[in-house]
Structure 1
Amino acid sequence: MKAAGRVAPPSAQQVDGAARYATIVEPHRLDFPTVTRRLLILFALVAGLVAACGLTWTITWQHGIDNLRRNAAARVDRTTSALKSTLDRYESLPYLLAGHPFVQEVLDAPTPAGVERANRYLEDLNRRARATSTYIIRADGICVAASNWNAPDTFVGAEYRFRPYFVDAMKGGVGRFFGIGTISQAPGYYISQPVLHDGRIVGVAVVKLNLEWFPGADAPESLIVTDDHGVIFLSSVPAWKYHTVRPLSGAITDTIWQTRQYAQQPIAPLPVTIERMLEGGAQIVRVGGGRMAPRYLATRRALGEPDWHLITMASVDPVNRDARNATIVTGFGYVSLCLLAFYWRMRRARVREMIRSRALLQKAYAELNRRVAERTADLSQANEQLKKEVSERTRAEQELRAAHDELIQASKLAALGQMAAGITHELNQPLAALRSFSDNTRVFLERGDEASARENLEAIAALTERMGKITNQLKLFVGRARPRSARAPIARALRNVLALLQKRLQDVTVDLSLFDAQTGHRETFDVSADHPALVAHCDELRLEQVLINLLGNALDVIVGTPSPRIAIDIEVSDATLLISVRDNGPGIADEVLPRLFEPFFTTKEMGQGLGLGLAISSSIARDCGGSLVARNAPEGGAVFILTLRRAHVHAPDILTSGS
């Protein structure tokens, strides 16, 4: 490592850093007058912020209210004119209707023909005038003809003596009235005229108009229309309808109730609080209770005739929002200016502090040169020690690499031993069968039974061929190979396996059953039949190899068991075939069950097994696209379940194909 010499003089950045360091390490001590002065400055700044925000809020809010008031006044004038012109357009219609001969004749002397002629005339007039309904009432208050004469809710026959528009017309005046219909239950504006015949009043002609379209929901502000009593009968806010803008006296309430003006609707006051009066009669009102109730700018106009008032309720929220935004902008600007001034002041203070700290920094660098020299000597010693450690680690790495190579060689030798052990294990069963068949052949030859001897010799030849195939298949345990798309008949494989293990199965009860998962039917499985529908995607030899291992293990565990029994169940579904081998032995211990399919793991005594049978069987099942699992049966004993993919062939019904 290179030794350090003298330290170079400090740069401008180093001086700046030292100044900040000195400012933190050696803070100024503030005396009482300084603290008081700073508190006064802070108080003045806060007061200025409050004053600027308050002034901005007041000016912006007042300007917004003035604009809102002027716009609301213009809109309410236009809306009032539109409503007035609509009413005036229909004002002369009942007058013209009252002068028609059909109307006068039917009211003076009603006849069926005259009533029908009047009904059709009223229907045609109402359709052309685009009114809601048109009807005529006799002097006794009974409706004799109406434009809706053929409707289910016709007015014909209804009595209207209690209606104010009927009373006013019978007195010779013009009746104007807004109310809810007693028959249709629909609100409307009624205009009535007296019908004169030979100088006397014989009835009343009435035109009803639907004004529900007028205070549309698309209006820029809320709109209400009140009658001469102050009852809201038109409103763009449905919740405000049939409320009053001022308290009603008892007499007026009784009159509304007797005339059934609003169909006995409960009339309640609208909770309106006037907060401020503005120029031009406008008011700022709050609708509802509490401080969070919405505020509106109310602008009122009188309609004249009828004695209605139209009121627009423009929300004050946009004005408040604009004033709030302007206040926030002002506050941020004020704070930004204060921060800029504070930064300029702190900048000047830091420059002064940098000048004061330069002398301290020169002294600190002289002390640093001395310490660097001492530290250089220590680092040189540490560097030598580090070189020694690096050389030792290099040597250890070389030794580790050599040990790794030896371990790989040992693994190769172990793999060769596993393959030799696997071949020995897999050939034990066929060799035992060869010994049995050869002994039987010798007996048959001594007896002169050449046919039986020939069958045994053919079986010996088949076993010899099978042993050759086993040695070729065992390589799948060492390296994975692609499974061949072969098909294995289940019945034939079981038949060959049972024949191979016939000698060991002499004293054992073997139960075979077939279960159809689709129909739920179960029957005894006849292994001697072909069962062409029970075919699995697997090599036949490999399937027999798995079944021999499973049955051989079952025979080993039931040795010494009273009434030994092995059950072979075949469950068939549309896509799979399940072959379960169940014994009545002691079962599988819980600590053994997780390691059951590990290579070289066995519970048998030394020399009786190598622990490769189940590992090879599981590998075969996986290569065929299936699985092999083991568990303990609820009734006792162990059960191994082999699941294979079913090969679909054209065959009769599954449970009857072997019969």
Structure 2
Amino acid sequence: MTRRLILLFALAVGLAAVCTLAWSLAWQTGIDALRRNAAVRNDRTTAALKSTLERYESLPYLVGAHPLVQDVLADPKPNEVAQANRYLEDVNRHARATTTYIIRADGLCIAASNWRGPDSFVGVGYQFRPYFIEAAKGGVGRFFGIGTISHDPGYYISQPVRRNGKIVGVAVVKLNLEWFPGSDVSEPLLVTDDHGVIFLSSVNAWKYRTVRPLAADVVASIDETRQYARQDIAPLPVSVERVLEGGADIVRIGSGLRAPRYLETRRALGEPDWHLVTMSPVGPVLDAARNATIMTGFGYVSLCLLAFYWRMRRARVREVLRSRAMLQKAYAMLNDRVAERTADLSQANERLQREVAERTRTEAELRATQDELIQASKLAALGQMAAGITHELNQPLAALRSFSDNTRVFLERGQYDVAHENLEAIGSLTERMGKIVNQLKLFVGRAKPKSQRSPVARALHNALGLLGKRLEGVSVMLTVTDGDAASAPLDTHNDYPELVAQCEDLRLEQVLINLIGNALDAVAGTSAPRIAIDVRARPATIEIAVCDNGPGIPAEVMPRLFEPFFTTKEMGQGLGLGLAISSSIARDCGGTLAAHNAADDATNGTTSGGACFVLTLRRTRVNAALATANEHTTPPASGMQH
């Protein structure tokens, strides 16, 4: 019994010694690998950063050497300042810098590459910035900070601008270094300034934190120069656990046992006085050391167990044979189940293929049916249009035949006056037929309106001029209402430059001619026909209401009022396209066309109700120069009959 205890104690001591040795070797090997990788990463990153900074080091000097920049800083004339802005903009674009600008000797920026933008540096004072102070003294300014105007961090390089040996200003180039050092959170990389403030970091939560407490004068200097404006600079919770040789430390970020630990290595960049800090996680090294220790312990225990193996060989062989038999049986059962499952899956796959084929055939039949329905719908619409156009054109064609025959007879008799009247009638009938075809063309074409401005008063003047003969005997009242002001009479001979709608001139006149023509048709049978046209100007829209004292719109007609080819007029008096085309024009121009029956009031100028059509269009603000130009570019009026 005593010998067994001594043997077990010796084995335990040997196990502890072997595990300790394995832990030490694995830990040291992992730390050395981390340090080598960190050194390679530091070299690569430092070279990339210094290459970027050195590439732009001479750009402020070259900008300041330009005669235009020197002249502008010495005597900032407006035209030369504009040229300097464009020059800096071109230089900044070709150099691919963030911003390039020049500052006068008193600290005021007078020209910048971002002079066009809302965050332009032009007119801003930078006399408190260290890079300006250093360059104004004749040195080279290098500074990293957050912009006071753009609020974007950047690296500033400045050079003095000399003219005739005298410093007249400072040229500055701002570089955006947010791309550096990337976003690799697994191995954090950060850059600190000469005060120990982290201004570049792959971990956003560490940005603008300090690696060591700041003195009061340093905090005051940062606040005075607005280096990190609007940022609460607080210490990073870092604690050193172990100091290694070669300038490396094992540190812990945060508090508590679960706070991550890193191998911290530092590299000085030289000029500027920055430090590149690499944080290599120690967790993988700990895991590797732990795994190596465990594997070593298992190996040691395995070697110890080999001593007892010869005593258990027979029993183990029997156990292996028994286990092999059970495993073969399990494999056979598994193969049977796999075969059954494969058969089930094959049957299910066949059913699925049949369903897919059936669905494909059904979808093909559905598409064919849809194509037939679309074709039938097209043929039905074509039949409706053919019937309407045939009836509309039959009467003018018959009249043309009759007038042409009569004209030939009158010419043979020498009755030239009567023949001249017949020719005028033939011209009128031809114009009517052209308008009928033009209506259909406008409805089908649906041309997209251009972004044009149309004076409302001029469009009303042209529309009323075209309908002059039909307006004889009809009382027409024109009023205009602007904002909350009272209504006033509208004089169509004046252009009213403040009443401009966003619509093409010809299309607006076309809608007005159609609405006024419909109103004339509605009041044709009344004893005292009246039409009221009220232009209501609002801040963003213009409403044109055309109201009459006719019989109004029946309730059953109202839902179909704007349908194509729907009309309440007798056959031959219209195709039913006028209101459909007018509604389409209003929609294309970004407006609406609505209809309702007017009540008995004084706002619409009627005394017995009637129909009221309201055209709403977007209002366009124009200046005086554009309004004067519109007075000399009045297009000819055109319209249509309904």
TM-score between the two structures when normalised by the length of structure 2: 0.48
Question: Which one has a bigger Cα radius of gyration?
Answer: 1
Structure number with higher relative contact order (C-alpha < 8 Å, ≥ 6 residues apart): 1
TM-score between the two structures when normalised by the length of structure 1: 0.46
